Structure 1
Amino acid sequence: MAEINQTNVERALGGCRWVQHILTYDNVNSTMDVAREAATSGAPEATVVMAACQSRGRGRLARSWSSPEGSLSLSILLYPSEDKLQSLTMMAGLAVARAISDAALIQVDLKWPNDLLIRGRKVGGILVESGYVEGRQFAVIGIGINVNLDAMKFAEIADIATSLSVESGAEVDVLKLLRGIIVEAEALYVNFNSQGIYNEWRQRLVTLGCRVTAVTGKAIIEGLAEDVKMDGSLIIRSDDGRSHNIIAGDVMLRHVS
């Protein structure tokens, strides 16, 4: 397995003109925190932060995300326009799914709003955070993927989690995967096409057509996941016939209809 260090990451991303700055660490609390700090220091767009391990990685709703050695922990700092900001989670999901398909020859599905699944089991996740620095809007895309982790890591949660190496039966080149993600993200971001991004993202969503239980705030909504809107919100038709527009929350799949 290629060592994740500054030299190897720079070599892997060589020729990627989009990347303006690279920060690589053996271990950090969170690559997202480093990227946010970089924004406050005036770091350029397409600053990439990568770590071999994270001690305090996080997912949505302030949950922790385990990032041991053998996983990919990556954050990308951007300064998006408002229309691009709305599509960042979709863009990141597509970039990662495409890159995994190329690097590991595995089909990846997306579960609303930000989970990466292989055969129904979680292999990674995406988190987008945004803010302002001196009146300028920035966003950080955080990406966490279980790459080269053996089955023992998932012995207790094998029904819900997996890794690329477990699914492919071989070690995956994490630096090739990194480059693939950056190349795909650049293509989607620079050649921005909101309708095209939405269409492909929607097609990859395994959530649609499933009965789901959505937890949003204090509300629990059960019903059929009917569709998603251009802004990424999920439309659920509850059993009483009402339509619910879910902007944020947890969604559990019950079964495919």
Structure 2
Amino acid sequence: MSAERAGRPRGRLGLPRAHFRRLGSTNEHARALAAAGAPHGTLVTAAEQSAGRGRQGRTWSAPPGRALLCSLVVRSLPRLLPLAAGVAVASEVGATSVAAEHARLKWPNDVLIDGRKVAGILVEGRPQEGWAVIGIGVNVAVRPEELPAELRERAGTLGLTPAAIEPTLARLLERLEEWLEAPDAAILDAVRARDALLGRPVSWAGGSGVGAGIDDDGRLLVATASGRVALDAGEVHLGA
């Protein structure tokens, strides 16, 4: 499948850009480009994915042309890269949504509005080779009835039109540029301000407890019956 040369977003991020009408996975394509030496800021976008992936090997599906689906190659790797990317997406979702004040981050990288997931981030890479790929999916214009039945209780949408996808992408790239250069303290403050798990019952493969904040290394703190634990990876669910 050949790529289309698409409009160039402002700023250093987003250049060069390869846009596909249909692609298996933007992350997989961006990873291949990165491994082949693609420069910092290279962007892969698609109107539709046939094999989009989320965290823990889950699939990310959306009707063609109704979601923002992109992956960005970065060669500047801040210590808190996944959290910085999450803050950038949450900031844009919050500014775009009519429910801006309700945009929250579910550690490590889901963006929720009123408890429903409207965006997800998947960061993959090879730090030893000096690159990472930030994969982002945002339900910009997905209609609720288009969501898979098993996701309708947990997934949400910004409720915009397909015409809003490109402007949303342009603003998101600007926010990523800002947050990827932000100091750790600013990133942590922003994550803590949007923490969807704080004070909420949570569970994960190793136990359950109550969300107790984010530590200075970006780990999720959980208060359990046997004391406080810090999680640095894995899937965390709301509810005990």
1:95-174 paired onto structure 2 within 5 Å? 95-107=88-100, 108-131=103-126, 136-154=129-147, 156=149, 157-165=151-159, 170-171=160-161, 173-174=164-165
Identity %: 32
Q: Deviations over 1:142-184 (max 9, x none)?
A: 001111111212373332111111xxxx426011110111000
| Structure 2 match to 1:246 | 231
1:234 aligns with 2:220: yes
1:1-257 paired onto structure 2 within 5 Å? 6=4, 9-11=6-8, 13=9, 15-69=10-64, 70-81=66-77, 84=78, 86-107=79-100, 108-131=103-126, 136-154=129-147, 156=149, 157-165=151-159, 170-171=160-161, 173-189=164-180, 191-215=181-205, 219=206, 221-240=207-226, 242-254=227-239
- Letter of the structure 1 residue corresponding to residue 190 of structure 2: E
Q: Do 2:195 and 2:213's aligned partners in 1 also have CA atoms closer than 8 Å?
A: no
Normalized per residue, the structure richer in strand is 1
Aligned with 1:57: secondary structure?
coil
Pairwise CA RMSD of aligned residues?
1.9
- What 5-or-longer segments of structure 2 have no aligned partner? none
Q: Deviations over 1:50-81 (max 9, x none)?
A: 00011001011111111331111110101124
- Letter of the structure 2 residue corresponding to residue 38 of structure 1: L
Q: Do 2:118 and 2:157's aligned partners in 1 also have CA atoms closer than 8 Å?
A: yes
- Letter of the structure 2 residue corresponding to residue 209 of structure 1: G
- What 5-or-longer segments of structure 1 have no aligned partner? none
Count of aligned pairs between the two proteins = 233
Aligned with 1:143: secondary structure?
strand
Q: 1:231 to 1:66 in 2, by over 3 A?
A: same
Q: Distance in 2 between matches of 1:232 and 1:141?
A: 17
Q: 1:236 to 1:77 in 2, by over 3 A?
A: same
TM-score, length basis structure 2: 0.90
Q: Distance in 2 between matches of 1:96 and 1:120?
A: 16
Q: Do 1:67 and 1:73's aligned partners in 2 also have CA atoms closer than 8 Å?
A: no
